[in-house]
Amino acid sequence: MPLSAATAEIKAKVLAEALPYIQRFFDKTIVIKYGGNAMTDPALQESFARDVVLLKLVGMNPVVVHGGGPQINEMLKRVGKQGEFVQGMRVTDDETMDMVEMVLGKVNKDIVNLINRYGGKAVGLTGQDSSFIRAEKLLLESTAEPGKMLDIGQVGDISKIDPAIISFLDSGDFIPVIAPIGVGPDGETLNINADVVSGKLAEVLRAEKLVLLTNTPGVLDKNGKLLTGLTPKQIDELVADGTLSGGMLPKIASALDAARGGVRSVHIIDGRVEHALLLEILTDEGVGTLIKSK
């Protein structure tokens, strides 16, 4: 059916406004951490898949790293286990690691299938494929007893990422979809926080943008006001006074490391908003919190 004159005019206006951003980010890599409600609400799932496909169609190179926290928690509850976190990191014993692998494998396939349904060419990976994400066992320093290191199980801290497989997929017009599982020194499987994988991957790929989707409008102050243009000094102050805590800690640390590591722009945005990804990339205003390197 032909477009009405009004609809055609609106589409032409949107395209004209988006064109400078399409040209600016043409052939640039954009790493997207996909998590939170955007992964569990069917309408938001479809919105995300369409956005990713559109970015690829107009010449950008989206790379998706996904979490699976809500799904893992649900699986743990089914077997009578409670998810436990320390400084925003999931405590991962052997049984939990088995469940993490199973759940993330299913989540990965679901994302790949949805992107492909909307016309993309997505390929699912974990860091175990070609051992492209190497990791060491993560030990956390106790906040209660400085100097004491905490062992939280099969949790990894990235030691090296080999970008070759991602570059190969990008060059073939594929969309990599990555589950955050790495390989330890002895070939063991390690659970890695998806925000950490996203940030490090953005650095290694020299990404133009890192976009972290979450369940808040961005970084908020104690009065619930959205903060943006945050510097390292401001972030340190927000951590020290308790404004930033829990799951936001690895997210903000990864964002800051990526900004310092050369990623041109780093954003924490509200994944509960339909087409939040396009709003961030293809508009002047953007959405969420911008993280600065200095």
Which sequence spans correspond to the domains of the chain? 27-291
Q: What is the pLDDT of residue 224?
A: 87
Q: What angle do CA 226, 263, 208 make, to 5 degrees?
A: 95
Q: What is the pLDDT of residue 11?
A: 47
CB 189 within 8 A of CB 180: no
CA distance 268 to 59: 23
Q: What is the pLDDT of residue 159?
A: 96
Query: How confident is the model over 90-111, as pLDDT tens digits?
Result: 999 999 999 999 999 999 999 9
- Token pair for 180: 């955050």
- Token pair for 164: 């070759």
CA distance 277 to 273: 9
- Per-residue pLDDT tens, the chain, 294 aa: give them: 344 555 455 445 556 677 888 888 899 999 999 987 678 889 999 999 999 999 999 999 999 999 998 899 999 999 999 889 998 889 999 999 999 999 999 999 999 999 999 999 999 999 999 999 999 999 998 888 888 999 999 999 999 999 999 999 998 999 999 999 999 999 999 999 999 999 999 999 999 999 999 888 888 888 889 988 888 888 888 888 888 887 788 888 888 889 888 998 899 998 888 888 988 888 776 678 888 877
Q: What is the pLDDT of residue 3?
A: 47
Task: Annotate 92-106 with b (16+ C-beta within 10 A) or e (fewer).
Answer: beeebbebbbebbee
CA distance 66 to 197: 9
Q: What is the pLDDT of residue 9?
A: 57
CB 76 within 8 A of CB 83: yes
pTM over 0.85: yes
Q: What is the pLDDT of residue 146?
A: 86
Average pLDDT, the chain: 89
Which residue stretches of the chain are H helix?
5-24, 42-57, 69-78, 94-117, 164-171, 194-204, 232-240, 248-260, 276-282
Q: What is the pLDDT of residue 91?
A: 93
Query: Which CATH number among 2.60.40.10, 3.30.565.10, 3.40.1160.10, 3.30.2400.10 corresponds to the domain 27-291?
Result: 3.40.1160.10
Q: How many CB atoms lie within 10 A of CB 280?
A: 25
Q: What is the pLDDT of residue 192?
A: 96
Q: What is the pLDDT of residue 1?
A: 37
Of 252, 229, 228, nearest in space to 240 by CA: 252
